[in-house]
Amino acid sequence: MTGHWEHFNHDADIGVRGFGPSKEAAFAEAALATTAVVTDPATIHATEPVEVHCEAANDDLLLADWLNALVYEMDTRHMLFRRFDVHINDHHLDARVWGERVVPARHQPAVEIKGATYTELGVHRTKDDGWLAQCVVDV
């Protein structure tokens, strides 16, 4: 199984899903789906690394914390991220993410993400022994 992401409709907000052969890959794809809510990830040059760390009581809450940490980094650093190297040990996540500062003319940001929500929040194995990580992001 290769990783991929998709969006799903949810009222006025947007659902993000990440699929991957490992939990880490699914979290990375969910992060890419989150970036894709704002802009086409192909327009982002993954040149500046940023460290992200978070932990939670379970995988579901870890996903929400992870995506909210990325939204925080995007907002405070005025950056967009395209590459994600995620490591999960128990319910502790360490990641290095790469991106660049927003260039409005090239990135043409569509919306601003307010945060990941607990709506449709879930992390679990799929029928093909892969992983799914999903939630709705508030835009």
Alpha-helical segments (H) within the chain: 23-38, 59-77, 104-107
CB distance 35 to 28 below 8 Å: no
| pLDDT confidence of residue 1 | 65
Rounded Cα distance, 122 and 55, in Å: 16
Mind listing the pLDDT tens digit of every residue in the chain (139 residues)?
A: 678 887 777 676 899 999 999 999 999 999 999 999 999 999 999 999 999 999 999 999 999 999 999 999 999 999 999 999 999 999 999 999 999 999 999 999 989 999 999 999 999 999 999 999 999 999 9
CATH assignment at residue 29:
3.55.10.10
Q: Give the number of domains in the chain.
A: 1
| pLDDT confidence of residue 4 | 84
Kindly write down the DSSP assignment for every residue of the chain, as one continuous string: ---EEEEEEETTEEEEEEEESSHHHHHHHHHHHHHHHHS-GGG----EEEEEEEE-SSHHHHHHHHHHHHHHHHHHHTEEEEEEEEEEETTEEEEEEEEEE--HHHH-------EE-STT-EEEE-TTS-EEEEEEEE-
Domain that holds residue 48: 4-138
| pLDDT confidence of residue 8 | 75
| pLDDT confidence of residue 2 | 76
